[in-house]
Amino acid sequence: MTIKDYAILRDLAERYREIAADPVMDVRRDLWRRHNSLKRTRPLIYIRAFAWQEMVQSRLHCDDPFFRGYEDFFRQSLFRYTFEDDFIFEPWVTVRAACVTPPEGVWGLASPRTHSTEARGSFVWNAPLKAEEDIERLIEPHHAIDEAETARRMEKLDDAIGDLLTINVDRQPAYVMWEGDISTQLVYLRGLEQVMWDMMDRPAWLHRLLARMRDGILRTHEEAEAAGDWSLSAHQNQAMPYAEELADPAANRNGVSRRQLWVFMASQETTAVGPKQFEEFMLRYQIPIVAPFGLVAYGCCEDLTRKIEVLRQIPNLRRIAVSPMADVAKCAAQIGQDYVLSYRPSPTDMVGYGFNAAKVREMLTRDLDACGDCHVDITLKDVETVQGDPDRIRRWVDVTHEVLGT
């Protein structure tokens, strides 16, 4: 670590420590606990994405790639602190344990990608499961951690800023989030269009593949629990993961059971699949994965309007995403006060191309009125551009507070 890197990181860590100690964080924790426990609060606001790559503040100055990752975390945090939404800055910084997975991909098969020549453009991939017998090429995943590499990471960061911030080590298994929802990796392995054909042409084979993926993910979760590697920093719910029924997020509190944690699950790839096929070819395989957890948050960007009734099968379901493609009124009528309604307005309409405060007020008012007496929070996510305007997100938060009367 160079003297320059050391000075940069320590300055940023000190500034981050100050914002994490802001008394408003405890106010927000109490709000999220009550809100996620279906108690009446004001609608909470969460900025999940803000086109960070467009901001001048995103420029990094550390030389060491490892420290550049943490420099980016601190600079993002200091920038987002100005938004004054209901985000909680925790008084620690996390090192991810070095989980051992095949270099080709979590299922042992590579999905080579061809990228667009445009900056941040799209890509296509070559799905490796071409024939039915290719299913036998999938590995059987296990939870394993490279302890030497994990210790090296932890010691390197601790030496730099450990006297300023708690260094939390996250030892949860690799098969979580997009590696653990079945849906994402299924499509990388088989191809989206081909999965749709498989539902009709070879359903028995597809069920065999889905069962194999379910069992593999479950195995890693069970092995991690047996090893004491789930911790209170492993909560995931695409919001602030607090609830009165569960222990608060905390650093280095290992050895907890999945029953003490939030889990996030989604199936964006099946957004165009009807409720019956969604239940048959996805949800029934996801339920055993989420069932051992304390509380479940379901949905990301997919339209769940026609699937809410089948989602009721999920034990401990607590949050349902209502994406920009969903019918807010129809979703609200089905969700009622049974779950938290995570309302996600279109980032394009909100902040993506120009900023029209009157239009934002009109759309938010319409949709929030449709939510009625639901337990609703507002998540602005998937913001790919604000046209380089560093003040646009804060202006959106101000207008949203105005609409809410908060």
pLDDT, tens only, 284-297:
999 999 999 999 99
Residue pair 253/211 in contact by the 8 Å Cβ criterion: no
pLDDT, tens only, 236-275:
999 999 999 999 999 999 999 999 999 999 999 999 999 9
pLDDT, tens only, 1-45:
789 999 999 999 999 999 999 999 999 999 999 999 999 999 999
3-state secondary structure of 341: strand
pLDDT, tens only, 32-91:
999 999 999 999 999 999 999 999 999 999 999 999 999 999 999 999 999 999 999 999
pLDDT of the residue at 118: 87
3-state secondary structure of 1: coil
Q: What is the mean pLDDT of residues 138-160?
A: 97
pLDDT of the residue at 268: 96
Angle between helix axes 183-190 and 192-201 (nearest 10 degrees) is 90
Bridge-based pairing of strands 295-298 and 262-265 is parallel
* pLDDT band at 391; cut points 50, 70, 90: very high
In this structure, what are the phi and psi dihedrals at residue 395, rounded to the nearest 5 degrees?
-65, -40
User: Which of 5-14, 15-24, 106-115, 182-191 has the lowest average pLDDT?
Assistant: 106-115
3-state secondary structure of 14: helix
* pLDDT band at 120; cut points 50, 70, 90: confident
Please report the beta strands in 78-132, taking only residues with DSSP state E, as ranges in sequence order: 92-96, 113-115, 123-125
3-state secondary structure 133-154: HHHHHCCCCCCCECHHHHHHHH
Distance CA 95, CA 263 (A): 20
Distance CA 72, CA 52 (A): 10
Averaged pLDDT score across all residues of the chain:
97
pTM for the whole structure: 0.95
* pLDDT band at 121; cut points 50, 70, 90: confident
pLDDT of the residue at 119: 82
Token output for 165: 């911030």
Q: What is the mean pLDDT of residues 372-377?
A: 97
- Arch. (CATH architecture) of 3-404: Alpha-Beta Barrel (3.20)
Bridge partners of residue 262, in order along the sequence: 295
Percent of the chain with pLDDT over 90: 98
Please tell me the number of Cα atoms within 13 Å of 404 on its side-chain side: 17
Distance CA 217, CA 172 (A): 12
Distance CA 133, CA 323 (A): 37
Place of tokens 């055993």: 288
Domain positions in the chain are: 3-404
Token output for 147: 């302890």
Q: What is the mean pLDDT of residues 94-108?
A: 95
Distance CA 230, CA 222 (A): 10
Q: What is the mean pLDDT of residues 200-208?
A: 97
Q: What is the mean pLDDT of residues 329-349?
A: 98
pLDDT of the residue at 106: 94
Percent of the chain with pLDDT over 70: 100
Q: What is the mean pLDDT of residues 102-122?
A: 91
